[in-house]
Amino acid sequence: MYKHMMAHTILLATLISGFFIFLLCIAITPSRFSKKKILLYIIISLSAIVSLSLYTGIDKIKTDISRIIRNSSPKSSDEVYTLLFKKPLGGCITVNNFKDQVIPKVDCCIWMELTLCPAELSRIINLKKYQATVYSKSDSLTFLNSFGDKPIWWTPQVLGDSLNKLSIKFDQDNQQTLFFWKDSSHVFLCDQAL
């Protein structure tokens, strides 16, 4: 239901934009349209805008706009970590490097390099049903090629002789992957949402 309500807000914004573009066209080339056509278009447009506004609800429109602004604002590494894994155990996490996915669908991923205590890593592992795989360091170039456009500091291959990979695919375009060494302290995260 929420996605449909967001679609209504986007449709409303599109209608309003189209209405103002039409008014701009009228202002630039007034002789191009007859007065009857202009009046008819204005009445139909305003009726559609008012109807959709009433149907969607002003509070919902305000909420959607606030959500868009909030989601497009840069987030701190702590905020992103909490969104992905809920609140961490106290004093168990240090974010070494971080790159946020500022614009979903344009930026592919959230990238993090973390130092965690073993208890925090265990907590994360138990939050979701990850698939576990172990790779040797020599295989790292093969399986890391699928992580395109990664930051220069995102280098799981430096973790040790063998890498533990935890991955979960939420749907066709969204997945989360964690790499760590057997000591469970140094972790690389890629949260992909396309």
Q: What gap in Å lies between CA 130 and CA 165, rounded to an integer?
A: 9
Nearest CA to 133 out of 113, 156, 155, 117 is that of: 156
Q: Out of 2-6, 114-118, 121-125, which region has the weakest mean confidence (pLDDT)?
A: 2-6
- pLDDT value, residue 71: 65
Comparing 184 with 160, the larger pLDDT belongs to 160
Q: What is the CA radius of gyration of the chain?
A: 24
Q: What gap in Å lies between CA 46 and CA 120, rounded to an integer?
A: 55
The residue behind tokens 């790499």 is 179
Does pLDDT of 140 surpass 80? no
- pLDDT value, residue 72: 67
Bridge partners of 146, per DSSP, are none
Does pLDDT of 2 surpass 70? no
Give the model confidence (pLDDT) of 44-82 as tens digits.
888 888 887 787 777 777 777 777 776 666 788 888 888
Does pLDDT of 92 surpass 70? yes
Phi, psi for residue 102 in degrees, rounded to 5: -70, -50
Nearest CA to 164 out of 154, 178, 148, 143 is that of: 178
Does pLDDT of 96 surpass 90? yes
CB 161 within 8 A of CB 107: no
Report pTM.
0.64
Phi, psi for residue 185 in degrees, rounded to 5: -115, -35
- CB count in 10 Å sphere of residue 165: 18
Q: What gap in Å lies between CA 188 and CA 164, rounded to an integer?
A: 10
- pLDDT value, residue 162: 82
